[in-house]
Amino acid sequence: MLNAVEPKLADLSSLLQDEIESAEPLDQHVAMMREMVRSCEAALDVMAPPKAEKSHEMATES
């Protein structure tokens, strides 16, 4: 995931700085951060192995 984000880090940093420096109400910042967390969780879910595969791996390791 870091490899996907790293090339865009400067753009993301700039975007966040612009958001922080703007005169938008605090709730807009909170909404943006919540969306960022949801996006990260979704990315982690996509990268996680399927549950059935996890169970199979655990059974074969024993």
Helix ranges (DSSP H) in 1-62: 2-5, 9-21, 26-47, 51-61
Domain spans of the chain? Answer: 24-62
Mean pLDDT of 8-17: 80
Model confidence at 54, pLDDT cuts 50, 70, 90, reads low
Q: What is the pLDDT of residues 14-49, one digit of tens each?
A: 887 777 776 566 777 778 888 899 899 888 888 888
What is the SS3 assignment for 49?
Answer: coil
What pTM does this model have?
0.41
Q: Which residue has the higher pLDDT, 31 or 59?
A: 31
Q: What is the pLDDT of residue 49?
A: 82
